Structure 1
Amino acid sequence: MSKGKIIVGVSGGVDSSVTALLLKEQGYEVEGLFMKNWEEQLPGGECMWEADVEDAMQVCDQLDIPLNTVDLASDYWDRVFSNFLEEYKSGRTPNPDVLCNQEIKFSAFLSHATDSGAEKIATGHYARITEVNGHYQLRKGLDCNKDQSYFLCRLNQAQLSLSLFPIGELEKHEVRELAKEAGFQTHDKKDSTGICFVGERPFREFLSRYLPEQAGEIQTPEGEVIGQHNGVFYYTLGQRQGLGIGGIQGASDSPWYIYKKDIENNILFVVQGHDHELLYSQKLTATDINWVSGAAPETPFKCAAKTRYRQADQACTITHIDNNSCSVTFDEAQRAVTP
């Protein structure tokens, strides 16, 4: 007897393939659902979604489960990509994967799945969910090198209660081994990296299609103009590459790094040396906070945080939670904290 209907977000990759495999082996009624999130006639339309859906079809055929497709391109544009552009215009460096999980995979996709009769959805994320007295905890995946809980940080209790992450208890090599044993051609498929809609082109080239170049100055902390740039929104704090600075009289041979952006005046400020003090911050203010538990904890409290995906957890203290923001003080100063 089936445990219930689960719709799996199949992407044509090895992780979602094994997710579907595990759930079927556990006795669930499993269906695959492939999301199309980008219009092929738009820049970035060369995303390999057609090849991916073929891989998804082959896996679902091998598992003898149905596969459907849902077109969420309009939702993605309105709820993720538009925000992505606005953030860049404001001089920030957004992570569209975080918003995609909140607004598309665990909202639009989830709604479509439950409307189709699913009790829950499942995805190939390396993360875990633990239920404790009716409350759902989002936990890191067992494989610390592949952990994706960072990208799921904006999920709420309702979304977690309707989600499963079957491979969260596995390491990547185990997932590939299971796929190979099952005869999936996806067992050695390369992991997707970067932002799908950017395609294979350089990121700045892609962004320039939506945010026209705006020439501006590159200055030192003292206000000396030492170069030109094409728009502050093309750059991020801590960046070294692509500045085109060299041969500055009186300067050393040390590389230059961006430490500040003046959005209003379109100016980049740079310093020399990877470990220059102006690249470091001890404190930050976090805004637009999502408390996964559903309620803010009492302050102050100690925890670990990170300001970018691949960064190791950093010890810190949280204080002054107010109006959906809080103060974060790190035990050790952090380099190139980027909004």
Structure 2
Amino acid sequence: MLNNVAAVLLDGVHPFELGVVCEVFGLDRGDEGLPVYDFAVASAEGPTLGTHAGFTVSTPYGLDRLEAADLVVVPAGSTFATRDYPPELLASLRRVVDRGARVLSVCSGVFVLGAAGLLDGRRCAVHWQHADELARQYPRAVVEPDVLYVDADPVITSAGTAAGIDACLHIVRKEQGPEVANSIARRMVVPPHRDGGQAQYIERPLPRSRCDTVGEVLVWMERHLDEEVTVEQLAARAHMSPRTFARRFQQETGTTPYRWLLRQRVLLAQRLLEATDETMEVIADRAGFGNAAALRHQFVRSVGTTPQGYRRTFRGSQAA
């Protein structure tokens, strides 16, 4: 269960990546019925640390704060790819994993996990600019240079900046369900879910305007997940040729229309499995899969478990 979260800092920490962790886990949203985490920022190098932005961060907590954490997050920092780390920190991170808790790195924080030996034999993500160096320093790590984040439970690694938000929300979704993760995302005004395997580099990550991009089509697709649509139909809605539409869709979302639609359908099925007692046939129909067999096939491929197994996890054996 995810209750206790600690962010561990080193000198030169990047404020944005630290802020991501504080925003997801450090705010009290209890008045909205959302989980309230026992959150703290701990230092591995004394009570006051510098940031790469020129100001300092102070905290009363040291490495002993990590011993009770269900999740320990290592934000990015300056020179993390080239510096040495306190042996006490590396030993503490190994103990976190050994006792069954999770560790998460944001961007270059992954180098700290590598120094602790936690990447050996594991897939991992990092900002594409650091991928070659990470692979060189830790040849036993399986570096994925193009993805947003990798969940090699209990070690989760994410690429640069905003990918840290995706990884944090992924952990919340995994532990506490899509409704909690979506509610936190709405408060943060960020997408509720981006696949870890989505490409880091999107040619145009934000539409210039709503009138000449696929933004309006995405909204329509999300509202009509139960309908069968073709690229030709979607292109017509966007007033583009199918070829132009497919290219623009890839540029703005990092994936194809089919894959985007399939993922949204799986996410809808997850919400229905969690929040309703509908039969598999009804859920399959509402989510656009047509029948329970197709739902089961795509759900297993995407989530790694059956719809019944997923419902049992979140609602108990009686509901399943």
TM score, norm. by length of structure 1: 0.26
Q: Which has the higher contact order (CA 8 A, sep 6+)?
A: 1
Q: Which has the higher helix share?
A: 2
TM score, norm. by length of structure 2: 0.27
Q: Which has the higher strand share?
A: 1
Larger Rg: 1
